[in-house]
């Protein structure tokens, strides 16, 4: 099976997010990017499928910050081909633009299956998978936590709210939004990543232009505001803990 | 004149028979030794010759004088008497053979005559007694007092082999004396008193009279000869092979500091996947094991009830050397992942092994394979991923590393921007752990008070990699070394001081020579000791606490820093009460080798809790002093979980110093 995995980079939340002076976007001074976690699951699921059923895994990502590291790691884990999309990608790219950019490359790869993370914490204009599926004219299933293939059909497990799981058949080619892989993403030793850096090559695909149309325009970004009924507990850890115990006591919880 | 008539009462056919049997024994022995050597695979890397003086000294002190074996007194004396008793009797037999069948036969000359012969007899009689004392000690120990470390071998047949060796030794010693007694009973020489044991036995036989005694003598002589040869032939086929393997192992053992772990050898990957990936030094390690179990007794994982016994790991690997193609895979069938991950790398096993086996080396080599295969638990995976991405195991931003310095005015020097005398490598725990930052700030206050010119690397510092390496992530370790070395090279400093013993160990013993070669690497306890001794740091208060001190593995056993922290504690006016297990015997807290990052193993009692009970057992000790940030967290938890919060306070050494200022 010919599988394409789409990865995107999102702001790493170990750094505090700050809003830049324009008030409509994040301050990128201290921002660093990390692979979107559900995308890691998509990659893991693709490698599991490859190991189980054979085929080839191509990983596709936008040329932002440390995309090379992300791609080499994917290679060390067992993917076969690495492609980065080179263009004036900014750290915060609109998913419509990214999906269109991915689509042009995916078409040439002619995949049986396109996997990507079901969502990302910076999806301001909807998640990537359905957009890609729409542009490619393929069917899409999201919140997937397990995939098996039989011929030209896939059986996928989709998670629904309330702990329900649906099993459904999907004809290939298809786009799947992966919620979680069948097993947690594997660890890849640094020595293998370093080996990949020496042996793997990253194809660069240059795009002519990015088309963000269809996405919303952000007019203002702000920190969550304190609601009227919320009481913020101030103080050091001990004081906060003592206050919590007192509150729980008052509420009859403890 | 006293003279040795070696083959008295022995018919010619028996004498010839003895030599034929001797030749056969020799052939079986040589074949057995060759079988072993063939398996050592001498083409494998790591041989370590050179430094012959040191190696020969080791051979003398450890194989002949057996200093390390004697450290454990009862089994030490037991082994020493059996070894030297047997060796002396063997030499005696060889001398008698030369005297009779070489010099006497060929040159009609005997040297075992007169006073020399009398001395020969009395000395051999005494060594024979020593042997019997040793055997008695061994029988009592193995079958009556039955310490746990001699029980429950992974292969029950091994117990039978141990019994065989003891029975054979007993029979050889007793039959030897009986033969001597019978000879004296019949010949009754004037010099019989020179064989005190034989003479006593002879007095019992005289009553029986001839020719029964002569017949008995011949039968027992043949018995003695046959079992002695069987015993010699058995050497390469039983654990007696350690007679050859152990001295070779001691001779070839590493002379590097124990804190320098052997680097990964990249074959198919960086670790050991199958038996043939081990170096010949490691195979020799397995071959030298006598199953004495000293390592198991010291192992914190084993003591706590975890799946690991370093003794069994080496025994199982030693058995696998003989059947590498029996279809069992090294990982899983022979050695389980649970065993490998239970190791805290505390070095206690390596430190006590009388034949210088390095259990840790093989355990880490096998871990390296598991890491390379991604077979690690989720918590360790997170920690390693965090180390790779953020340079710390906490998964926090590099920019938060020096957050603890925020209240400090004036700012601590940035060693990357200006020259300092002391580059303070703070370490992850002291920098990031919420409950340790007060202690870290105290350290900086004390340094300031002592007028020290020091600086830190702020976000430029990365985890040193000591524990990542011991968890088996060699590539990550190499990357961290490169990053830290690049930072060091951009700084001007005269010495490095570390808070964390783990960091201290790798900087001192494993980082490239440009870092640890010309510049001193100090642990803060050493620096405090220097500052106090030289009068640069004056302590004005006497604290008068009763303190017990826990030696961190990576400071104590690994680097032999035992006295500096104790001198500092005494300088604060405290009295030290030692726990039974202290200095090189100190019990590990259970956090080392990456264990602090892994899921807790189900154990009967955590090592840290056992340690707190040990301290509480001392009576009125008030303070449990440590010199390792991880120890502070480990033991503060253990004091709570054991319910001893009202009896014992865990304090870092710097807290005592700070209080005594």
Per the listing, tokens 């960091």 go with B503
pLDDT of residue B603: 87
CB pairs under 8 A, 24+ apart, for A100-108?
Answer: A100/A135, A100/A210, A100/A211, A101/A62, A101/A207, A101/A210, A102/A6, A102/A60, A102/A128, A102/A132, A103/A132, A103/A135, A103/A136, A104/A207, A105/A60, A105/A205, A106/A4, A106/A60, A106/A132, A106/A136, A107/A136
pLDDT of residue A91: 65
Say which of B372, B390, B478 has its CB closest to residue A14: B390
Interatomic CA distance for residues B46 and B61, integer angstroms = 23
Per the listing, tokens 């329900």 go with A164
User: Distance from CA of residue B646 to its chain's centroid?
Assistant: 37
- Write the DSSP symbol of residue A185: P
Interatomic CA distance for residues B568 and B555, integer angstroms = 15
Nearest to B571 by CA among B532, B526, B525, B523: B532
Angstroms from B475 CA to nearest CA on chain A: 4
Nearest to B632 by CA among B607, B615, B649: B649
Give chain B's domains with CATH numbers.
12-242 (1.20.950), 256-372 (1.10.1060), 391-532 (3.40.50), 537-660 (3.40.50)
Nearest to B357 by CA among B280, B237, B256, B250: B250
Interface of A with B in 201-240 (CB under 8 A): none
Angstroms from B361 CA to nearest CA on chain A: 19
Q: Does A187 touch chain B (CB under 8 A)?
A: yes
Is A189–B372 a contact, with Cβ atoms under 8 angstroms apart?
yes
Sign of the torsion angle spanned by Cα atoms B524, B530, B534, B540: positive
Angstroms from B381 CA to nearest CA on chain A: 6
Question: Alpha helices of B289-413 — where are they, by DSSP H?
Answer: 294-298, 300-304, 310-320, 337-342, 348-352, 359-372, 378-390
pLDDT at residue B79 greater than cutoff 80: yes
The dotted CATH code for A2-206 is 3.40.50.620
Is B388–A190 a contact, with Cβ atoms under 8 angstroms apart?
yes
Q: Is A191 helix (H, G, I), strand (E, B) or coil?
A: helix
Interatomic CA distance for residues B66 and B353, integer angstroms = 11
pLDDT of residue A147: 94
The residue of A16, A70, A190 whose CB has the most chain B CBs within 10 angstroms, and thus the best one to mutate to test that interface, is A190
- Write the DSSP symbol of residue B574: P
pLDDT of residue B43: 55
Of the listed ranges A13-27, A120-134, B94-108, B506-520, the least confidently predicted one is: B506-520
pLDDT at residue B5 greater than cutoff 90: no
pLDDT band at B6 (very low <50, low <70, confident <90, very high): confident
The residues near B177 (Cβ < 8 Å, ≥ 6 apart) are B128, B197, B198, B201
> Is there a contact between B286 and B318 (Cβ–Cβ < 8 Å)?
yes
Q: What's the whole-number mean pLDDT along residues B257-281?
A: 88
pLDDT band at B48 (very low <50, low <70, confident <90, very high): confident
Buried (b) or exposed (e) across B379-394, using 16+ Cβ within 10 A?
Answer: ebbebbbbbbbbbbbb
At B470, list the tokens: 């011991």
Q: What's the whole-number mean pLDDT along residues B599-608?
A: 89
Is B266–A191 a contact, with Cβ atoms under 8 angstroms apart?
yes
Nearest-Cα residue of chain A relative to residue B368: A189
> Is there a contact between A71 and A84 (Cβ–Cβ < 8 Å)?
yes
At B554, list the tokens: 């990576």
pLDDT of residue A61: 95
Q: What is the mean pLDDT of chain B?
A: 93
Percentages of chain A per state (helix, strand, coil), in multiples of 5? 30, 25, 40
Q: Does B372 touch chain A (CB under 8 A)?
A: yes
pLDDT at residue B9 greater than cutoff 60: yes
The residues near B39 (Cβ < 8 Å, ≥ 6 apart) are B283, B321, B322
Is B397–A15 a contact, with Cβ atoms under 8 angstroms apart?
yes
pLDDT of residue A96: 93
How many residues are there in chain A?
Answer: 254
pLDDT band at B265 (very low <50, low <70, confident <90, very high): confident
Is the bond preceding residue B363 a cis peptide, omega within 30 degrees? no
pLDDT band at B516 (very low <50, low <70, confident <90, very high): low
pLDDT at residue B622 greater than cutoff 70: yes
pLDDT at residue B595 greater than cutoff 70: yes
Interatomic CA distance for residues A169 and A158, integer angstroms = 11
Interatomic CA distance for residues A101 and A94, integer angstroms = 11
pLDDT band at B63 (very low <50, low <70, confident <90, very high): very high
pLDDT band at B42 (very low <50, low <70, confident <90, very high): low
Say which of A14, A190, A194 has its CB closest to residue B396: A14
Is A190–B399 a contact, with Cβ atoms under 8 angstroms apart?
no
| B539 conformational bin, left if phi > 0, alpha if psi -120 to 50, beta if neither | beta
At B159, list the tokens: 């117990």
- pLDDT, tens digit, for every residue of B154-181? 998 999 999 999 999 999 999 999 999 9
Is B475–A190 a contact, with Cβ atoms under 8 angstroms apart?
yes
Q: Is B236 helix (H, G, I), strand (E, B) or coil?
A: helix
- pLDDT, tens digit, for every residue of B529-564? 999 999 999 999 999 999 999 999 999 999 999 999
Q: Contacts of residue B374 in chain A, CB cutoff 8 Å? A: 186-189
Bridge-based pairing of strands A164-171 and A153-160 is antiparallel
Sign of the torsion angle spanned by Cα atoms B440, B445, B450, B451: positive
Q: Does B370 touch chain A (CB under 8 A)?
A: no
Q: Contacts of residue A30 in chain B, CB cutoff 8 Å? A: 399
- Write the DSSP symbol of residue A10: E
At B10, list the tokens: 């022995």
Interatomic CA distance for residues A189 and A170, integer angstroms = 35
pLDDT band at B511 (very low <50, low <70, confident <90, very high): very high
Interatomic CA distance for residues B589 and B562, integer angstroms = 17
Q: Which residues sit opposite B650 in a β-bridge?
A: B624
Q: Is A142 helix (H, G, I), strand (E, B) or coil?
A: strand
Say which of B371, B395, B479 has its CB closest to residue A14: B395
Interatomic CA distance for residues B25 and B481, integer angstroms = 55
Angstroms from A62 CA to nearest CA on chain B: 20
Nearest-Cα residue of chain B relative to residue A31: B397
Interatomic CA distance for residues B169 and B253, integer angstroms = 30
pLDDT at residue B47 greater than cutoff 80: no
In chain B, % of residues over pLDDT 90: 83
pLDDT band at A163 (very low <50, low <70, confident <90, very high): confident
Buried (b) or exposed (e) across B558-595, using 16+ Cβ within 10 A?
Answer: bbebbebbbebbebbbbebbebebbebbbbbbbbbbbb
Q: Contacts of residue A192 in chain B, CB cutoff 8 Å? A: 372, 475
pLDDT at residue A232 greater than cutoff 90: no
Interatomic CA distance for residues A182 and A194, integer angstroms = 27
Q: Which residues sit opposite A129 in a β-bridge?
A: none
> Is there a contact between B456 and B487 (Cβ–Cβ < 8 Å)?
no
Q: Is A34 helix (H, G, I), strand (E, B) or coil?
A: strand
pLDDT band at A235 (very low <50, low <70, confident <90, very high): confident
Q: Contacts of residue A34 in chain B, CB cutoff 8 Å? A: 389
> Is there a contact between B638 and B606 (Cβ–Cβ < 8 Å)?
yes
Interatomic CA distance for residues B343 and B303, integer angstroms = 12
pLDDT at residue B353 greater than cutoff 80: yes
Q: Contacts of residue B395 in chain A, CB cutoff 8 Å? A: 14
Question: Alpha helices of B253-299 — where are they, by DSSP H?
Answer: 280-288, 294-298
Say which of A184, A189, A194 has its CB closest to residue B473: A189
Q: Contacts of residue B378 in chain A, CB cutoff 8 Å? A: 184
At A197, list the tokens: 């850096």
Bridge-based pairing of strands A202-206 and A164-171 is unpaired
At B342, list the tokens: 């239970």
pLDDT of residue B498: 97
Q: What's the whole-number mean pLDDT along residues A119-130?
A: 94
pLDDT at residue B212 greater than cutoff 90: no
Interatomic CA distance for residues B214 and B283, integer angstroms = 50
The residues near B485 (Cβ < 8 Å, ≥ 6 apart) are B511, B512, B514, B515
In chain B, % of residues over pLDDT 70: 98
Interatomic CA distance for residues A232 and A244, integer angstroms = 11
Whole-Å CA distances, B585 to B69, B238, B330, B347: 15, 31, 31, 10
Single pTM value for the model = 0.92
Sign of the torsion angle spanned by Cα atoms B463, B469, B471, B476: positive
State the complex-level ipTM: 0.88
**Hey, how many other C-beta atoms are within 10 angstroms of the C-beta on A194?**
15
Q: Does A190 touch chain B (CB under 8 A)?
A: yes
- Residue of higher predicted confidence among A228 and B630: B630
pLDDT of residue B362: 97
Is B475–A30 a contact, with Cβ atoms under 8 angstroms apart?
no
């Amino acid at each position: 099976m010919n599988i394409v995995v789409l990865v995107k980079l999102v702001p790493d939340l170990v750094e505090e997010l700050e809003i830049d002076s324009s008030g409509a976007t994040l301050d990128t001074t201290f921002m660093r990017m990390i692979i979107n976690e559900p995308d890691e699951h998509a990659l893991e699921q693709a490698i599991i499928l490859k190991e189980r059923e054979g085929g080839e895994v191509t990983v596709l990502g936008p040329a932002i910050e440390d995309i090379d590291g992300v791609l080499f790691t994917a290679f060390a884990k067992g993917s076969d081909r690495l492609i980065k999309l080179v263009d004036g990608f900014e750290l915060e790219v609109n998913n419509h633009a990214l999906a269109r950019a991915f689509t042009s490359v995916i078409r040439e790869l002619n995949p049986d299956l396109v996997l990507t993370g079901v969502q990302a914490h910076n999806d301001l204009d909807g998640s990537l998978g359905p957009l890609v599926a729409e542009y490619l004219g393929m069917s899409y299933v999201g919140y997937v936590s397990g995939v098996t293939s039989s011929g030209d059909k896939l059986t996928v497990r989709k998670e629904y709210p309330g702990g329900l799981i649906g099993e459904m058949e999907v004809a290939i080619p298809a786009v799947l939004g992966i919620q979680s892989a069948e097993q947690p993403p594997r660890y890849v030793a640094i020595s293998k990543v370093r080996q990949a850096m020496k042996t793997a090559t990253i194809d660069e695909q240059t795009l002519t232009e990015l088309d963000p149309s269809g996405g919303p325009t952000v007019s203002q970004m702000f920190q969550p505001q304190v609601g009227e009924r919320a009481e913020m507990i101030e103080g050091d850890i001990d004081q906060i803990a003592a206050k919590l115990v007192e509150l729980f006591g008052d509420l009859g919880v403890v | 004149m006293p003279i040795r008539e070696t083959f008295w009462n022995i018919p010619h056919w028996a004498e010839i028979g003895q030599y034929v049997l001797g030749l056969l024994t020799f052939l079986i022995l040589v074949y057995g030794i060759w079988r072993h050597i063939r398996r050592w695979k001498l083409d494998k890397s790591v041989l370590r010759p050179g430094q012959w003086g040191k190696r020969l000294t080791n051979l003398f002190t450890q194989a002949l004088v057996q200093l390390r074996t004697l450290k454990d007194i009862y089994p030490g004396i037991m082994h020493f008497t059996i070894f030297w008793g047997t060796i002396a009797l063997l030499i005696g037999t060889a001398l008698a053979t030369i005297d009779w069948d070489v010099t006497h036969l060929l040159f009609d000359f005997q040297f075992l005559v007169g006073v020399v012969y009398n001395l020969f007899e009395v000395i051999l009689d005494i060594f024979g007694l020593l042997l019997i004392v040793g055997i008695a000690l061994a029988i009592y120990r193995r079958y009556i007092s039955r310490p746990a470390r001699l029980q429950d071998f992974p292969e029950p047949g091994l117990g039978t082999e141990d019994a065989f060796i003891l029975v054979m030794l007993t029979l050889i010693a007793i039959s030897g004396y009986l033969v001597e007694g019978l000879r004296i009973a019949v010949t009754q020489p004037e010099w019989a008193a020179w064989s005190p044991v034989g003479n006593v036995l002879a007095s019992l036989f005289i009553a029986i009279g001839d020719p029964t005694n002569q017949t008995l003598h011949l039968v027992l002589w043949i018995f003695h000869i046959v079992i002695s040869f069987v015993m010699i032939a058995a050497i390469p086929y039983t654990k007696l092979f350690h007679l050859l393997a152990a001295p070779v192992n001691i001779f070839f053992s590493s002379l590097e500091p124990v804190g320098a772990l052997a680097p990964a050898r990249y074959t198919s990957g960086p670790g050991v996947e199958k038996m043939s990936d081990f170096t010949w030094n490691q195979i020799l390690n397995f071959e030298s094991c006598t199953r004495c179990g000293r390592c198991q007794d010291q192992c914190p994982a084993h003591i706590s009830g975890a799946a690991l016994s370093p003794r069994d790991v080496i025994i199982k690997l030693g058995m696998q050397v003989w059947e590498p193609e029996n279809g069992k895979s090294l990982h899983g069938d022979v050695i389980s992942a649970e065993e490998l991950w239970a190791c805290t790398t505390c070095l206690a096993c390596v430190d006590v092994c009388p034949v210088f086996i390095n259990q840790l080396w093989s355990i880490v080599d096998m871990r390296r394979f598991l890491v390379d295969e991604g077979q690690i638990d989720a918590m360790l995976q997170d920690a390693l991923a965090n180390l790779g991405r953020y340079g710390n195991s906490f998964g926090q931003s590099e920019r938060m590393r020096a957050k603890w310095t925020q209240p400090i005015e004036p700012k601590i020097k940035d060693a990357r921007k200006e020259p300092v005398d002391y580059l303070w490598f703070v370490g992850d725990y002291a920098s990031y752990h919420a409950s340790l930052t007060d202690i870290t700030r105290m350290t900086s206050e004390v340094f300031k008070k002592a007028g020290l010119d020091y600086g830190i690397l702020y976000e430029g510092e990365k985890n040193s990699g000591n524990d990542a390496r011991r968890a088996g992530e060699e590539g990550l370790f190499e990357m961290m070394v490169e990053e830290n070395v690049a930072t060091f090279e951009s700084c001007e400093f005269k010495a490095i001081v570390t808070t964390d013993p783990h960091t201290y160990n790798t900087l001192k013993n494993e980082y490239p020579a440009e870092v640890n070669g010309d510049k001193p690497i100090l642990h803060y306890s050493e620096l405090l000791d220097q500052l106090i001794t030289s009068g640069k740091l004056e302590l004005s208060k006497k604290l008068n606490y009763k303190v017990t001190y826990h030696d961190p593995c990576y400071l104590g056993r690994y680097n032999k820093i035992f006295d500096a922290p104790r001198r500092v504690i005494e300088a604060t006016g405290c009295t030290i009460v030692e726990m039974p297990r202290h200095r090189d015997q100190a019990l590990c807290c259970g956090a080392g080798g990456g264990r602090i990052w892994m899921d807790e193993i189900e154990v009967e009692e955590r090592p840290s809790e056992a340690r707190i009970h040990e301290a509480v057992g001392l009576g009125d000790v008030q303070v449990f002093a440590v010199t390792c940030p991880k120890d502070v967290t480990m033991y503060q938890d253990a004091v709570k979980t054991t319910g001893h919060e009202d009896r014992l306070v865990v304090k870092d050494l710097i807290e005592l110093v700070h209080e005594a200022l």
